[in-house]
Structure 1
Amino acid sequence: MATSPDHPTPSAASAGPSPLNQLLYGHIYSASVRAVAVHRIADRLAEGARTPDELADEANLHADSLRRVLRLLAMHGLFTQDEKGAYGLTDAGRLLRSDVPGSQHGAALFITDEMLRRASYGITDVLRTGETPFATAYGRPFFEHLAATPEARDLFDAGMASLSGRVVEAVAGSYPFPDHGTVVDVGGGRGGFLRAVLTREPGLDGVLFDRPDTVGDHVLDTDELRGRWSVTGGDFFSEVPAGGDLYLLKNILHDWDDEDCLRILGAVRRAAAPGRRLLVVDAVLPDNGDAHPAVELDMIMLMVLKGRERTAAEFERLLTRSGFRLSRVLPTPSLSSIIEAEAV
């Protein structure tokens, strides 16, 4: 691009990223993260720093293009670069490895997938129509699309497992679970959260409840939990297992609008005897509108589902209408908080 005295090329010192530029170029950053995740560059750096030429030779990639992508992501803290031009992993970049505890590799592939990109293009229209962009783009709601598209469902499940892997221990360690009784995890997926709870509290038993195709691939069958769990498939809009002492809804309500949340909570309330507790694990937005990282997650809800992130007051209204009394909101070392309620 040509320059002139009236339009000089800015110096490096004066050309720092502005908030607007960071937002405008955001799709380039996420596309670059996707590229290194797809080609498992972080896995290839597990043993130490390597040059783009070495990486490209091993992965059958174009070396100069790879160098430019790595340079961008190094500028944003995912990689290091030494004086010889070799790239290594930072602590943040290490999470892109597929083989480490807390790996975000599956999350990176899901969040940057075409499904969410296509949905994001509809944000302009949703301001006029209020219609969910994903359903407009794909002709059906998100969960119907997953049910009809096995590869999309596998991508989603891997992404959710990746995101949840960093949360379950933080949340499980932030609540004083009882010494004994039965915990019913409603919409508990493959059971990662329930497993963390039962492992911490050896006197508890657990029931994992979700769609039959989901719970069929559960992770509860371990020696440590032998004889302490059962699995049930069903529809949490209509009925959930009765007789629990404590019910869990982890990252469920934010997927749905208020009407559907009331259906889910109503099914839980019919199953829970008076005095039994419910833990809703979700992000809780500040009532005063202060900045919160879950606002970004709320945009994904706007793009993909009918759901939303909520404030404590909004959760309390849903719980009260469903026959629960909000007891307290406990923060955790993760994005999610624990909303404790009691059946009345």
Structure 2
Amino acid sequence: MPTEISGELPADGREATRYLIDEALGYVYPGALRAAASLGVADLLAGGPLTVAELAGRAGVHEAGLRRVLRVLATRGVFEELADGRFALTPVGQALRSDAPVSARPAVLMLTDTTLWRPAGEVELSLRRGGSVFEDLFGMSFFDYVAGNPQTAATFHTGMAAFSDQENELVAAAYDFPASGVVADVGGGHGGFLLEVLRRRPGLDGVLMDEEHVVAGHRLGAEDVKGRWRAVPGDFFREVPAGADVYVIKRVLHDWDDESCVTILRNCRRAMVPGGRVLVIDAVVPPGNEPHQAKAVDMILMTAVPGRERTEAEFAGLLAAAGLRMSRVVPTGTVVSIVEAVEP
């Protein structure tokens, strides 16, 4: 782990220099993590420890190089090098298995995909240019690139689903959804969050809205929600399904600039029934200097897409511009909060 800074630094600043050098090496770890995830190393170790030669043979890679990758990841607690030279999974590493109950593997592959990795390395260009550098690198916007590349689209949408899977249950439990009526999940991806809401509220019906190729991969076929949902392909910049009591917009607005966000919110405002609610579920960037995942994700957003993570005041401004009033912010025990909006 990087050197910890505590107390007064030496006059010559050597401790601070060592710390910053370790921080600059940080990009090595996600590179190694991506390799391990892509090769399925955690799956290979599911049955117990293996030698590097055994792992390399099964993965079809160079043995000496794999040892170096595993050694780096062992310093971060993903794998453990045993006294006899074999490597084993740690409790953290178990989450990298593709068959883990809540697998991190798709999210790791998404976050380290070249479509996010390359722009993240161009922060200086982003600062000089102002905004995303994705078009400089790929010749088109991020979402146009995803739409035209099925493999990238699959990586992105399965990654976002995995990103959300570890929080959906807690987020759904944190909010008092109505006992009956209709909840519409706008830009809801494969429907993992909507599924959790419907399971918790047997009297609710659901609408899943996203692009046609996205809703085609929905996960709402579970027997316990049969007959209580419908999938509606569409473009939330044009319109959203009308007549819902609650409109959920989860991990969507942070992808878009303010003007685009206001368009989405206005469409929800027009479509909801009188007395309806809009729930924006996104990270709310906290003030101060404490670490928060949203502050790191915001750097990815800055370089790859038009959007950003927002503060509570910024969300209030967006909602007001869309003809809504922020009524409260509900913590969920996860990275995201629920920003509730109602009619003024």
Calculate the TM-score normalised by the size of structure 2: 0.92
The offset of 1:235, in angstroms, is 0.9
SS at match of 2:205: strand
The offset of 1:17, in angstroms, is 9.8
Q: Deviations over 1:272-318 (max 9, x none)?
A: 13321111100001144643221001011101101000011110111
Q: Find the aligned partners of 1:16 and 1:258 in 2 and give their Cα distance.
A: 38
Q: Which residue pairs with 1:186 in the alignment?
A: 186
The offset of 1:22, in angstroms, is 3.1
SS at match of 1:167: helix
Q: Which residue pairs with 2:254 in the alignment?
A: 254
Distance 1:217 1:124, change over 3 A: same
The offset of 1:155, in angstroms, is 1.2
Q: Deviations over 1:158-210 (max 9, x none)?
A: 21112111121121111111111110111111111100100111111001111
Q: Find the aligned partners of 1:195 and 1:132 in 2 and give their Cα distance.
A: 33
Deviates more, 1:122-131 or 1:193-202: 122-131
Identity of aligned residues (%): 46
Q: Which residue pairs with 2:23 in the alignment?
A: 23
The answer to whether the Cα contact below 8 Å between 2:261 and 2:318 also exists between their aligned partners in 1 is yes
Q: Which residue pairs with 2:337 in the alignment?
A: 337
Map residues 74-93 of structure 1 onto 2, 5 A cutoff.
Answer: 74-93=74-93
1:185 counterpart letter in structure 2: D
Q: Which residue pairs with 1:3 in the alignment?
A: none
Q: Which runs of 5+ in 1 are unaligned?
A: 1-13
The answer to whether the Cα contact below 8 Å between 2:319 and 2:341 also exists between their aligned partners in 1 is yes
SS at match of 1:173: helix
Q: Deviations over 1:31-52 (max 9, x none)?
A: 1111111111100111222221
The offset of 1:71, in angstroms, is 1.0
Q: Find the aligned partners of 1:18 and 1:100 in 2 and give their Cα distance.
A: 37
Q: Find the aligned partners of 1:19 and 1:245 in 2 and give their Cα distance.
A: 51
1:171 counterpart letter in structure 2: V
Q: Find the aligned partners of 1:323 and 1:194 in 2 and give their Cα distance.
A: 25
Q: Which residue pairs with 2:162 in the alignment?
A: 162
The offset of 1:82, in angstroms, is 1.6
CA RMSD of aligned residues (A): 1.8
The answer to whether the Cα contact below 8 Å between 1:104 and 1:163 also exists between their aligned partners in 2 is yes
The answer to whether the Cα contact below 8 Å between 1:287 and 1:312 also exists between their aligned partners in 2 is no
1:268 counterpart letter in structure 2: C
The answer to whether the Cα contact below 8 Å between 2:131 and 2:302 also exists between their aligned partners in 1 is no
Q: Find the aligned partners of 1:317 and 1:61 in 2 and give their Cα distance.
A: 52
Matched, 1:49 2:49: yes
Q: Which runs of 5+ in 2 are unaligned?
A: 1-13
1:297 counterpart letter in structure 2: V
Calculate the TM-score normalised by the size of structure 1: 0.92
The answer to whether the Cα contact below 8 Å between 1:168 and 1:193 also exists between their aligned partners in 2 is yes
Q: Find the aligned partners of 2:298 and 2:268 in 1 and give their Cα distance.
A: 24
The answer to whether the Cα contact below 8 Å between 1:278 and 1:343 also exists between their aligned partners in 2 is no
The offset of 1:57, in angstroms, is 2.5
Q: Which residue pairs with 1:234 in the alignment?
A: 234
Q: Number of aligned pairs?
A: 331
The offset of 1:21, in angstroms, is 2.4
